[in-house]
Amino acid sequence: MTDVIEKIQIEEISLLLHSLREQVAALEEKVVRLEAAQAPVAKVAAPAPVAAPAPASPPAKEEISEEIMLVLAAAVAAFLGERAHIRVARLVSSPSWAQVGRVSIQASHILAKA
């Protein structure tokens, strides 16, 4: 009895293996056809290499206008609660300011619980 069962299982496995080989061969043919059809398009659509941008020159020193100084003085006075004399103010160009701003905005969003 066990010989019959083993023979049936071997035949089923053999048929399944033959079927899988046929499917793999058909898929390989399809892949070859698709790659051949797509090859000319890929050559035409490939983007041209882009030249590296020139290094950025340091920003020119800008003078802070009197109006901006007055606004800064008003902001400091509002924050401290008393008048303050601003001795020096300069423009600082830093990506960290932008990053801190983005973090602040992201943190202010209320995330819904899933």
Specify the pLDDT at position 9.
82
Q: Tell me the per-residue pLDDT of 57-83, one tens digit each, with 9 for 90 and over.
A: 555 567 788 888 888 889 989 988 898
- Share the mean pLDDT of the chain: 78
Q: What tens digit of pLDDT does each residue of 5-23 get? A: 777 788 888 888 888 899 9
Beta carbons of 94 and 69 less than 8 angstroms apart: no
The DSSP line for the chain is -HHHHHHHHHHHHHHHHHHHHHHHHHHHHHHHHHHHHHHHHHHHHPPPPPPPPPPPPPPPP-PPPHHHHHHHHHHHHHHHSS------------HHHHHHHHHHHHHHSPPPP-
Residue 23 has a pLDDT of 92
Q: Delimit the domains of the chain by residue range.
A: 1-47, 66-108
pTM for the full model? 0.31
